[in-house]
Structure 1
Amino acid sequence: RIGRIVDARDVADAILLTYENHEAEERYICTSQAITARDLVEKLKSLFPNYKYPTK
């Protein structure tokens, strides 16, 4: 199985963006492309099928 590769500079940028945003009180999901909530839920369902997910 091939692991995921990420540039550490991108991770650092993401951390700084959330740190500098005073409204950043929750968890963030970082992605290399725009994703809709529906697509995110579908991806999570495929990775973690035993969890309950919103239907709307």
Structure 2
Amino acid sequence: MYRFRTSSGSAKLNLPRIKKKALNSWTAIQDTYFSTKDTFERHKVVFTVSTSVATA
């Protein structure tokens, strides 16, 4: 089993810090997803034409 150590060396979990890091990570994932989705939607015609030319 893994132990999470604080600066004092104890095996206590710092749950508020872990929760904050998890929330920040989830927010970053969502931001990346929506940014990528928006890019693809804005360039939908370009991707469609490029794919058609590439397969022809």
Q: Considering Cα pairs closer than 8 Å and 6+ residues apart, tell me whether 1 or 2 has the greater RCO.
A: 1
* Between structures 1 and 2, the one with greater helix share: 2
User: Which is greater in Rg?
Assistant: 2
> Is TM more than 0.5 here?
no
TM-score by structure 2 length?
A: 0.30
